[in-house]
A and B are shown apart, each in its own frame.
Chain A
Amino acid sequence: MNHLLRRQGWVAGLFALLIALFIITKLIQPGYGSGDFGSLARAVLPYAFAVAAQTVVVIAGGIDLSVAAMMALTSVTAASMMNGASEEYALFVVPFVLAMGFVLGAVNGILIVVTRVPDIVVTLATLFVLQGAALLVLDAPGGAVAEWLKGLISGTVPIPGLPDAIDAWLPKALLVLIICLCIIWIPLRRSKLGLSIYAIGSSELAAFRSGVPVARTRIIAYALSGLFAAFGGLALTMSTGIGAPIPGPYLLASVAAVVLGGVALGGGKGGLLGPIVAVFVLRLVRTDLTLLAIDPNVTAIIEGAIMVAVVMFGAFITMRSRQS
């Protein structure tokens, strides 16, 4: 119980940090309003899905290095399939790409279980493979996206009975994020499968002896990771309108946000809310740096340094807890 309180305390602390950052943003840029918040939500979308993908695997005691490459592959697949196709065709593309992510993620898991090669090596190899596959689908940024998909994440949610002033602070992108994550995460968390994922992350041997199907649970954890990464790839295509075969900086960002979100890199601890709030924190820091009129390249350096520092801090904490 005490532990639960401490974990919620971590998430609460993150929320406080986020609010503090919003206040700082408002101080830097008094004009920071609902429109900017909407673009923040849109920018967060692919990162948030990447983080969700990483979180599931880390909780199960593993790590997935192929997240960014998976996003690149699903993004170019979606963009090239929708290129020149009708609006209705996208209705078929979306589930297809999501299924593809799920299956490729499961392949990751199966390779880990069958070859018994450590997850970090297997996902490094699939990182190469998926990157190559993305280049085969599209060798340069291109493709197109259906208009209704673009519309899905731009603008705000009109809720009848609510004044426009509040309404403006509810960007559609945020709603899409919350719905997509909740539909998968909440039932998972409450199911036996979710418990199994936490169990194998906490102690594989203990889980095995208590009758948890370790191999199957691990495969499903990676499959879910692939599914979230596919969501991320779609989000990427939706927000840019094209697909790019070169993966963005999502791998490091996802690991950093997972650590900052209070999920132990050893596995078995934490939830999804913390990492998602952490993504908002990391993105907002970037926004602030941009608002301070710092050279975007310098911003990239500072951002990278922050992420490395966060990961270092997380590793340090893990080391300490192991010693005690």
Chain B
Amino acid sequence: MSNAATISKPVPIGRRVKRFMADRPLIPLIILLVILVVILQILRPGIVNERWIANTIKFAIPLAILAGCQTMTMLTGGIDLSVGTVATMSAFIMATQVVNQDPAVAFLLAMMPAVLIGLVNGIGVGVFRVHPLIMTLGTSLIGTGCLQVYQRTVIASGAKIPDFLAWLGTGVTYGFPNALLLFVPLAALIVFTLARTGFGRLLYAVGDNERATRLSGVQYWQVITVLYVISSVLAGITGLLYIGLIKAPSLSLAEPLVLPSVAAAVIGGTSIFGGRGGYTGTIIGALILTVLTTLLTILQMPEGARRILFGLIVLFVTAAYLRIVEER
């Protein structure tokens, strides 16, 4: 039955396609990715080569890790909008501290605000029950303020990008970007955690039915606090990787990645209401968005149009998923 649906386009035209998409969201996503690459090849013949692929993967990885933060928080029905600020903070602190400090010390210093913001997010959401969106938005505002104050204190010392991070961010070995060395284990860990460990199941459980989870003895606030700390730490690591890629520390370094990270998780099939989704879809979602960005750049679409498109994607995909769920 599903074979017949594979041939048809990934547009919800019939019930079977809908059911198929609900069961196996990965296949239509991969088809969409291939279609986008083909369109790109038609528009600019010869653009799709080894170097382009390596480049696309390089830029997709930071997005994919941040989208991983969104995937995990969304599974519990939350969202983490502070990832951009956290990534920027860790990148900026790393770049400025490494001038005078040992890289290991600089690394620890860089990860400190990440842990702290994650902890505050987790306590706010888990204990005080603030809506995650409002909470993470608030901590990101505070974080940005702290970063501005911090910037004044280090303005004289300058900044530099550690060679290791530059190697990790931009280097390519045998046609494979070095960033994969970090990303592949990380992605495997996230997929494994979500699918095979107790913590991963708790995330799904909390997102699916919080009351039932609590009644069966789960300490809701502990799960949420750990989750937001993990999310923040991942964002911090992304920041370090991203500074190696961009090589220019600024106070709004990773901010443009926030909206796409939400969009990537939503495209990847993670329900923004919680309880459904996974990380593999998110990775493909991040790839799709990176290719889409290249496409929009080639078409000379301005930044504003890109944001509008991302917004519409989030809305459309969420509405479509809601329909699919109701159909069942």
A55 → chain B, closest Cβ, in Å?
Answer: 15
- Nearest CB of B to A75, in Å: 15
0 or 1 for each of A128-139: is its CB under 8 Å from B? (1 = yes):
110111111101
- C-alpha gap A118/B273 in the complex (Å): 9
Chain B residues in the interface with A (C-beta under 8 A): 124, 128-131, 133-135, 137-139, 141-142, 144-146, 148-149, 152, 259, 262, 272-273, 302-312, 314-315, 318-319, 322
1/0 contact string of A306-322 vs chain B (CB within 8 Å): 01100111011011000
Are B142 and A304 in contact, with the CB atoms below 8 A?
yes
A125–B263 alpha-carbon span in the complex (Å): 9
Contact with A117, one of B145, B148, B310, B315 (Cβ below 8 angstroms): B315
Asked if B149 and A298 make an inter-chain contact with CB atoms under 8 angstroms apart, the answer reads yes
* Total chain A interface residues with beta-carbon distance under 8 A: 45
- Min CB–CB distance B126 → chain A (angstroms): 11
CB of A65 closer than 8 Å to a CB of B: yes
Interface residues of A (CB under 8 A from B): 63, 65, 111, 115-118, 120-122, 124-129, 131-137, 139, 245, 249, 251-252, 255, 295, 297-298, 300-301, 304-305, 307-308, 311-313, 315-316, 318-319
The total number of A-B Cβ pairs within 8 Å is 124
Q: Which residue, B124, B130, B134, B262, has most C-beta atoms of chain A within 10 A?
A: B134
Q: Are A111 and B138 in contact (CB under 8 A)?
A: no
Contact B135 A311 (CB under 8 A): yes
Q: Measured between C-beta atoms, what is the minimum distance from B327 to chain A in Å?
A: 13
Could you say which of B137, B152, B304 contacts A134, with CB atoms under 8 Å apart? B304
Distance in angstroms between the alpha carbons of A113 and B135 in the assembled complex: 26
Contacts of B124 in A (CB 8 A): 308, 312
Q: Please determine whether B307 and A304 come into contact, CB atoms closer than 8 angstroms.
A: no
Residues of B with C-beta under 8 A to A312: 124, 128, 130, 135
Q: Would A125 and B315 be within 8 Å (CB), given that A133-B304, A301-B146 are in contact?
A: yes
Contacts of A255 in B (CB 8 A): 134
Cβ of B311 and Cβ of A129 under 8 Å apart? yes
**B131 neighbours in A (Cβ, 8 Å):** 63, 120, 315
Note all chain A residues with C-beta closer than 8 A to B322: 115-117
Closest to A313 in B: B128
